[in-house]
Homo-oligomer: A and B are copies of this chain.
Amino acid sequence: MRIGELARRAGVSTRALRYYEQQGLITARRTANGYREYGEADLKLVTEIRSLLGVGFTLEDARPFVACLRAGHESGGSCPESVAVYQRKLAEIDDEIRTLLARRAEVAGQLTDACPGCVLRKQGES
């Protein structure tokens, strides 16, 4: 299949696919006329990448997962390098959540100072 079909099937733009290739995440055979030619395995790679991007991973983070799939594993997350990324990402997410909770409290506090009664309409108003 050529780039347009892969893009349609994976739900991404052709621009994105060329970018992934430029970043070394996917590769493509070339036909005589220079067109990229892909197989089903490539669709799987792109799907994995998209899935990871969807939960906040970067392309860099996705690398070990792609390598894992290429190495023949059925799941991109079943290699030790991928597991390490999972754990690092979990830690990062937890950090961000903590930061956001602290910010929320800070902002809510300032809002209360500036406008008593503007906040805290969550459980009841009375």
Q: How large is the interface on A (under 10, 10 to 19, 20 to 34, 35 or more residues)?
A: 20 to 34
Smallest distance from the beta carbon of A92 to chain B beta carbons, Å? 10
Contact of B55 with A114 in the complex, beta carbons under 8 Å: no
Cβ 8 A contact of A114, one of B86, B100, B113: B86
Contact of A104 with B114 in the complex, beta carbons under 8 Å: no
Each complex incorporates copies of this chain amounting to: 2
| A107: interface (CB < 8 Å) | yes
Contact of A104 with B118 in the complex, beta carbons under 8 Å: no
| Highest count of chain B CB atoms <10 Å: which of A75, A96, A100, A119 | A100
Kindly specify which of A5-13, A21-29, A33-41, A76-84 makes contact with the partner chain.
A76-84
A residues with a Cβ closer than 8 A to B are 55-56, 75, 77-78, 82-83, 86-87, 89-90, 93-94, 96-97, 100-101, 103-104, 106-108, 110-111, 113-115, 118-119
Q: Given contact pairs A78-B115, A86-B107, A90-B108, enumerate 7 new A-B contacts (beta carbons under 8 Å).
A: A77-B115, A78-B114, A83-B114, A86-B110, A86-B118, A90-B107, A93-B104
